[in-house]
Structure 1
Amino acid sequence: MKDLLNRRRLWVGGKGGVGKTSIAAALAVLAARRGKRVLVASTDPAHSLGDVFASELDDTPRRLLPGLDAMEIDPEREVEAHLSRVTAQMRRYAAPAMMDELERQMRLSRQSPGTQEAALLERLSRLMVDDDLPYDLVLFDTAPTGHTLRLLSLPEAMAAWTDGLLAHSRKSERLGKVLAHLTPGSRRDLASPFEEEGGDANHDPRTRDIAETLLARRRLFHQARRRIQDPEHNGFLFVLTPERLPILETARAVSSLEDAAIPVAATLVNRVLPEEADGAFLASRRAQEQSYLSRIDETFAHLPRPRVPWLPTDIQGVDALERLASCLEQAGL
């Protein structure tokens, strides 16, 4: 298990409310304690990483401890940056009379389903493929399981969408050339400048620029997907608690990732009742917990399953994270 923090990228996920942000932050503290240069980045739109560190975080890495930086990726900012790039590119070719409609469509796109996920995927992909980042380990504190699985499935969806759009662009260009020749009274300068015999519609600068942009994004997503499937440099850690719903959700998530050839490094059982806890109420809870721990051992027998005790206080601030990091180290991480 100590090799868990020797990867270049580690994703920490799980059902909402199981403590994955605290675990991600404590793992970052533990890695920095061992001399690694670490970045922990929250991808959850409902950020709580800054709350755990008791620090203000934003979209730029901030140094919190020697060797440890943290950031909260802002999906809204990613959407704005992406749409600004698209608008700037389209301004080069759109007629002035079309700009009001273009800007209206861009405003509508901000609220379109999947816009935030696509923008977030692009930012994560750049973090994954950037070999010049000054970090030995990048920890991703991810959104709850369902959101993360959708995020990881986007490369295929975006590739299919890009292929379709490029094919449509090529067909439209060819159709435009044909219509220009068939329309009575049409002028040759209304058609593509490359409509002469042997011309290539793909040489139209508009088509070429759009195609290059789409293909560059598709290459980025595929590079990121190859990285995320590399078990030597990438791993997924699922945090769960010894309760029925987190076990069921984690089992489904582990199965989905393994079917997609994405390496799952371990499951971490958080908030296990400590042995010294006493009283009739806790004894009853411990008996129920033991049945769930046995179920975890059976369901995830092929994965490491370190256990972390339930601490007596909330996890907030560096001192609390240092204590949790020590618990993780005692658990074999």
Structure 2
Amino acid sequence: MFDLLDRRLVWVGGKGGVGKTTVSAALAVLAARRGKRCLIVSTDPAHSLGDVFARQLDDTPRRLLPNLDAMEIDPDIEVEAHLARVTAQMRGFAAPEMMDELKRQMQLTRQSPGAQEAALLERIARLITDSELAYDLIIFDTAPTGHTLRLLTLPEAMAAWTDGLLTHNRKSEQLGKVLKHLTPKAGRDVSSPFDDPKEDALSALDQRTRDIAETLLNRRRLFHQARRQLEDASLSGFMFVLTPERLPILETARAVTTLQEAGIPVVATLVNRVIPVEADGAFLERRRQQEATYLQRIDEAFATLPRPRLPWLDTDVQGLDILEDLADRLAGEGF
């Protein structure tokens, strides 16, 4: 048995269509059955978590079972909330005559590439760093590498922005000191060319810059905290779901290597939709022979990781009854 469910953060990823949402849901049911207060979160814009549970979900946790809540983060809602926060902060920094331009820029940002992901990443970071959330375990049904790798690189990106702004701020302060030194003292001719009537405006600009820098520093701290939790093997673990087919094997191998090089603990690879032994017929027998070569390749490619298996089911996965059955199967595989 391996300790994936003993961590606080579990990330389940995989190539599209391999069943990662189904596996995530079954893991959540198993954890809740064992008494863990569990939240399962879908971060995929094309949500299917609600379909698997046969329940309507939104971006607030909904109780599905004792100890089990579920939610689907809506990227559009996150973008609107994110831009509303930015606009509110900028109102204190921007001159009144700049507000129309600020609103126009916010409208453009709403439609820009990456806006959804930026807002989504901030929501994920806030979820995993919120010490007041009353959950023992949070399971993320997510993309294999995208969200987590960007969470790792965001602190560096934020550092570049913040350090650049602070450098600008220091230069502004130095300029202010020079102007103050050169400005005539009381009793001297106020018409001196060194007497800058905009000195108060410069000081105000410096204060606004410091306020902006503090906002960026707070976001930078948020993503640093998220990164530390992602890299902590006692808190966080990633599991890939794949099927015994060529493309999922190749993509998973690349993703595992990428995450391991980035310092994210990869705990297991789960092989889904393995043809059951009892399945018969000439067609399935030929498929089974091909599958055997892929299963061997999986054993070789991921020899250092546990490789539990789930069978190919004869029905769609929808509703708690079949998820309970899958949870039993996962328990039998060592979860």
Common fold by TM > 0.5: yes
How big is the alpha-carbon RMSD for the aligned residues of Structure 1 and Structure 2? 2.3
Distance 1:264 1:120 in 2: 22
TM-aligned CA deviation for residue 143 of structure 1: 2.6
TM-score by length of 1: 0.91
Partner of 1:263: 265
Distance 1:159 1:297 in 2: 41
Structure 1 residues 38, 245: closer, same or farther in 2, change over 3 A? same
TM-aligned CA deviation for residue 122 of structure 1: 1.2
> How high is the sequence identity, in percent, across the aligned residues?
72
Unaligned runs of at least 5 residues, structure 1:
196-200
Unaligned runs of at least 5 residues, structure 2:
184-191
**Bigger Rg, which one:** 2
Letter in 1 for 2:199: A
Partner of 1:233: 235
Distance 1:95 1:194 in 2: 13
8 Å CA contact 2:144–2:240 kept in 1: the answer is: no
Deviations 1:219-269 (A, max 9, x none): 110111011000011000010000010010001110011101110010000
Partner of 1:291: 293
Distance 1:40 1:53 in 2: 11
Partner of 2:93: 93
Specify the SS of the correspondent of 1:188. coil
Equivalent of 2:312 in 310, 313, 323: 310
8 Å CA contact 1:59–1:72 kept in 2: the answer is: yes
Distance 2:176 2:117 in 1: 34
Partner of 2:248: 246
Structure 1 residues 214, 311: closer, same or farther in 2, change over 3 A? same
8 Å CA contact 1:45–1:143 kept in 2: the answer is: no
Moved more, 70-79 or 32-41: 70-79
TM-aligned CA deviation for residue 144 of structure 1: 4.9
Structure 1 residues 250, 185: closer, same or farther in 2, change over 3 A? same
Deviations 1:194-235 (A, max 9, x none): 86xxxxx99x33122111110010011011101100001100
Distance 1:301 1:116 in 2: 37
8 Å CA contact 2:176–2:202 kept in 1: the answer is: no
1:106-255 residue pairs with structure 2 within 5 A?
A: 106-146=106-146, 148-171=148-171, 188-192=196-200, 204-255=206-257
TM-aligned CA deviation for residue 70 of structure 1: 0.3
Letter in 2 for 1:278: D
Structure 1 residues 73, 178: closer, same or farther in 2, change over 3 A? farther
Partner of 2:36: 36
Letter in 1 for 2:334: G
Distance 1:22 1:142 in 2: 12
TM-score by length of 2: 0.90
Distance 1:172 1:111 in 2: 34
1:51 aligns with 2:51: yes
TM-aligned CA deviation for residue 49 of structure 1: 0.7
